[in-house]
Amino acid sequence: MDRTRVKVNGPDLVITNVRVKDGGVYTCSATNVLGGASKVISLNILKHIAIQNKLNDTTVKEGHSVRFECNFKSNPKPTITWYHYNIDGSKDKVTSGVKVINNGTGSQLLITFTKYTDSGQYVCEANNGVEVVQGSGHLTVLSKPYITKITGNGHVTANKGDTIRLWCTSTTQPGYTVSWNHPTTSSKVYTDSDGSLVISNIGRGEEGRYVCTATNSLGVDKAAVNVTVEVPPSATIQPNLLPIRGTVFFDCQADGDSPLSITWQKDGVQLDLTNKAKYLTLPAAGTSHKLLIMGASAGDAGKYSCIVGNRLGQATAAALAYVDLGSVFCSATFADCMAQFCGAHCPANCKTNSAPVFGEIAYTSTSSICRAAIHSGIIPETGTATVVWSKIGVQPGFTGVTEHGITSQSSSKADVGSVPLAVDVRNH
């Protein structure tokens, strides 16, 4: 026994820098005048696990076999377990193809027919109940591309007007290139530098099956995305300004996925289309839905709305029917028309006229129609135009300001306000 490491210190036996050979049976004896006693102590020395060989990184072609082997030196014998860290980072315990070797101190993993999914890090883990030691090696399986991800899992639905991007990706090696086949020659469809397919401002013409092809030196793989375009409702109405003269008609251009519902309102209240003597809707012709107002009078002036709906939502387009005063002088005032929406054709050079204007944005009933329209910027400072305005109810007062070469006056007197809205370019 090495006296430099083993010392008796009173009743204690101290062993420093313990070695395997120090293991064995130790007997402690004690005696006195009355007799003696002894105690047997068994000392078992555990060895650190030592890995005897390094797992090598390996590259094989798909279908070939590969063998990993690891050996450990340990007392007691370790339990050896294999793990596979997949390309996506997930971890699996490996049991198939595992064989114990070297009297339990080693383990062998055999993959007889490799697949691209076998790529990743392989770890053999030895555990002797005291400590755990690992060895690892990386397996790369070369194969043709296998497309593992594709946009929408192969089904994409977009709203008309959207811009979408289609992807397909493969985790295989060696590297691969991507190409797309698609059902349209539209200039709105193009392949980006990153291999994705972009469809801008998508419409019904871009619906269909888009095929991604991934290619490398070992082969090809294909996957398809079916693109469906949904069309939310849209509505436009012509004309958007219309003087009341006999029969008035509006044409609502409605588009969207079927079935479409068409509703007409006046000033926010649904029209009674059962009143055939007053209202007539013509059968739809393509996207055109026409409303005729028979024998229109001043009471029919208002805001008419065409509301188009389908399962994706609603869209509204509005137009104004107004009482037309015809050609007026620069001195004509808003009081000359009592309807909710009115219009008048202004002569040239009203800017230099002396007719008063009270207010800004909203004007008093005594204000000059044409000069207020110039002041608000609705009609040009020179030339002729038909201005359309709306009554907005009684205002507590009006503030004067200089705009477009005209200085309006203030008024503290409550009055019905009139707001110039637009120029009716169709009504000269």
Terminal CA-to-CA distance of the chain, rounded, Å? 124
On whether both 119 and 175 belong to a single domain, the answer is no
On whether both 138 and 111 belong to a single domain, the answer is yes
On whether both 244 and 262 belong to a single domain, the answer is yes
Does residue 2 surpass a pLDDT of 80? Answer: no
The answer to whether 73 and 52 have CB atoms below 8 angstroms apart is yes
Does residue 412 surpass a pLDDT of 90? Answer: yes
Residue 1 lies in a domain: no
Which band of pLDDT confidence, cut at 50, 70 and 90, is reported for residue 1?
A: low
Measured between alpha carbons, how far is 311 from 233 in angstroms, rounded to an integer? 9
On whether both 242 and 317 belong to a single domain, the answer is yes
Which band of pLDDT confidence, cut at 50, 70 and 90, is reported for residue 377?
A: very high
Q: What is the pLDDT of residue 172?
A: 85
Please state which of the ranges 31-40, 302-311, 401-410 shows the lowest mean pLDDT: 31-40
State which of 229, 258, 273 marks the end of a domain: 229
Residue 118: both structure tokens together = 């076998």
Report the predicted TM-score, pTM, of the whole model to 2 decimal places.
0.66
Residue 179: both structure tokens together = 């190409």
Instruction: Report the domain count for the chain.
Output: 5
Q: What is the pLDDT of residue 241?
A: 95
Residue 428 lies in a domain: no
The answer to whether 51 and 78 have CB atoms below 8 angstroms apart is no
On whether both 53 and 130 belong to a single domain, the answer is yes
Does residue 280 surpass a pLDDT of 80? Answer: yes
Determine the structural domain holding residue 22 and report its residue range: 6-45
State which of 122, 142, 162 marks the end of a domain: 142
Residue 82: both structure tokens together = 């294999």
Residue 36: both structure tokens together = 């003696």
Which band of pLDDT confidence, cut at 50, 70 and 90, is reported for residue 156?
A: very high
Does residue 428 surpass a pLDDT of 70? Answer: no
Q: What is the pLDDT of residue 82?
A: 96
Q: What is the CATH number of the domain that holds 273?
A: 2.60.40.10
On whether both 130 and 76 belong to a single domain, the answer is yes
Residue 63 lies in a domain: yes
On whether both 213 and 238 belong to a single domain, the answer is no
Measured between alpha carbons, how far is 165 from 170 in angstroms, rounded to an integer? 17
* Residues whose CB is less than 8 angstroms from the CB of residue 347 and which lie 6 or more positions away in sequence, other chains included: 327, 328, 329, 330, 370, 384
Averaged over 40-61, what is the pLDDT? 88
Does residue 20 surpass a pLDDT of 80? Answer: no
Does residue 160 surpass a pLDDT of 90? Answer: yes
Please state which of the ranges 92-106, 224-238, 400-414 shows the lowest mean pLDDT: 92-106
